[in-house]
Amino acid sequence: MNSYYVELTFELGVPADREEFQSHLDDVAEAFAELDDVDGDVGADLATGRVDLCMTLTSANYVEAVTKAVAAARTAVHAAGGATPGGEQMLSKMLAEEDYRLADCG
């Protein structure tokens, strides 16, 4: 097993209510803390609506790492009361187009 750092970035647009958005992101970060086998955190630029979901995890290979990261991100967002419409399609597209970069930490 290797250790990987995976960062998923989303451009969500400027939030209508920055305090509410920040509170939701804090809830996502707390939800990451409850997940096993994933060390995750959230970063954001509230002025632009850019959100980075950052995770360190162990996997056998890159494909498994990306799959595990997307699942963990969706789980954390859902646990915080958010939604991830199109999540399955996003993962399929990323893997099909090899549209990802990973840092092998091992």
Name the pairing type of β-strands 50-59 and 2-11: antiparallel
Does the model's pTM come out above 0.75? yes
Euclidean distance between CA atoms 15 and 5, whole angstroms: 27
Q: Which residues on neighbouring strands pair with residue 51, listed in sequence order? A: 10, 44
- What is the rounded CA–CA span in Å between residue 100 and residue 77? 20
Is residue 86 pLDDT above 90, yes or no? no
Which residue range is the domain that position 34 belongs to? 2-104
Residue in 67, 54, 60, 56 with CA at minimum distance from that of residue 8: 54
pLDDT band at 35 (very low <50, low <70, confident <90, very high): very high
* Count of domains forming the chain: 1
Q: Report how far Cα 27 is from the mean position of its chain's Cα atoms.
A: 13
Per-residue pLDDT for 106 more than 70? Answer: no
Q: What is the domain-level CATH number for residue 47? A: 3.30.70
Supply the pLDDT for residue 101.
58
Express each pLDDT in 56-69 by its tens digit: 999 999 889 889 99
